[in-house]
Every structure is written in structure tokens, then in C-alpha cells.
Structure 1
Amino acid sequence: MNTIPAQEIKRRGIAAVDDCIAKGDLHVIRNNQPQYVVISEDRYQALLEAEDEAHTARVLASLEDLRAGRVQRGTAAELLKELDAEG
């Protein structure tokens, strides 16, 4: 991943980001530590889409578990009691 010091952005403005982001995602370094990540709009939209797809897959898998009887029903209190017993 590309890196750029925050001071460089202060000095050059958005042009500094434009130069680096063309090469890929960008870490902004502040106090010698990565503090921020800058990504392109296309990359951001792709990440949102992947997140939505993953969420849908988790819900579908949960529904399949429910249909297949792999889910125990009970109250939150019962679950907490069971977890305490295991600990």
C-alpha cells in the first residue's frame, strides 16, 4: 500500500493524494503511524458491495441452519446461563 505523510498533504493539498492514489490505496502517516486510509470511489463502492453480499450470505446460511434444525431456540437469559456454566 502506498504511504504519504500527513505533512505532505498539508503542504501540497489534494494534489499530493491524487498523485499517490493513482497507484492504489493510500495510508496517511501521522506521528510515524498509519492513521488513515484513502481509497478511490470505485474501490469504496466495491467494498460496500462485498459487504452487502457477505451479509446476505450470512443471513441465508442462518436461515438454512434454522431449516435444518441446527439452531437451538431459547431466551437470551438461558443462553447467558449456559455460557456461564461453560466458563
Structure 2
Amino acid sequence: MANTVTAAEIKRRGMAAIEERLQYGPVRIFKRNRSAAVILSEDEYQRLLGKQPRAQGMSALSWLLSQPVGGARDKADIDASLAKERTW
């Protein structure tokens, strides 16, 4: 059986209709007998983006510090850019 829900059921039951099905993976929403959208869990969405999902119970600071460093600019370059912006 496919993991689906109709738009009418969502109107009737709200988020409960979606949350029940999200336990089994992505949920396809049907409107007028046609597939209209797909709902993913936050962890699945982050995985598709190539990011690490936020662990349960982890503080925002811990999560931020666990993210890979992606910047290529050094402190001197940033300071120089800021100094140019601040000269009026």
C-alpha cells in the first residue's frame, strides 16, 4: 500500500493525518485523484540537501559548532571588507 493521503482527509483531520503516515516515510498528497505534493520529514529533507540532521536534544550552539566550515575567507579579508563598508 502506498503512503498517501488525500487533501480532503488533511482538511478533515489536519496534521494528524500527515504525522501518522510520516512514520513510514515520505507522504504523497492526492488532490482530485492526482498526485499534488510530497511531504518529507525534516531529517529526510536535510539528507537530500546533503546536510546533517539536527540531533534530538542537541543545543543550537552544539549543532552549529558541528557543521563543517565552508568559508574560504580569512579574518584579514573580512576585516578589510568591513572597513570599506564602514567608511562613509
TM (normalized to structure 1)? Answer: 0.55
Give the alignment of 1:23-38 within 5 angstroms.
23-38=24-39
Q: Which runs of 5+ in 2 are unaligned?
A: 52-88
Q: Offset of 1:14 from its aligned partner?
A: 0.3
Q: Which has the larger radius of gyration?
A: 1
Q: Secondary structure at the match of 2:44?
A: helix
Equivalent position amino acid for 1:33 in 2: R
Query: What is the Cα-based RMSD across aligned positions, in Å?
Result: 1.3
State the percentage of identical aligned residues. 42
> 2:82 maps to which residue?
none
Number of residue pairs matched?
A: 50
Per-residue CA deviation, residues 3-31 of structure 1 (Å, 9 max, x unaligned), is 10010000000001001111110100001
> Unaligned 5+ residue runs, structure 1?
51-87
Structure 1 residue 39: Cα displacement: 0.4
Higher helix share: 1
Matched, 1:41 2:42: yes
- Moved beyond 3 Å, runs of 4+: none
Query: Which aligned pairs between 1:1-87 and structure 2 lie closer than 5 A?
Result: 1-49=2-50
Query: The residue matched to 1:4 in structure 2 has which SS?
Result: strand
Q: Residue 28 of structure 2: SS of its match in structure 1?
A: strand
Q: Structure 2-normalised TM-score? A: 0.54
Secondary structure (helix, strand or coil) at the match of 1:15 reads helix
| Paired position in structure 2 for 1:61 | none
Q: 1:28 corresponds to which letter in structure 2?
A: I
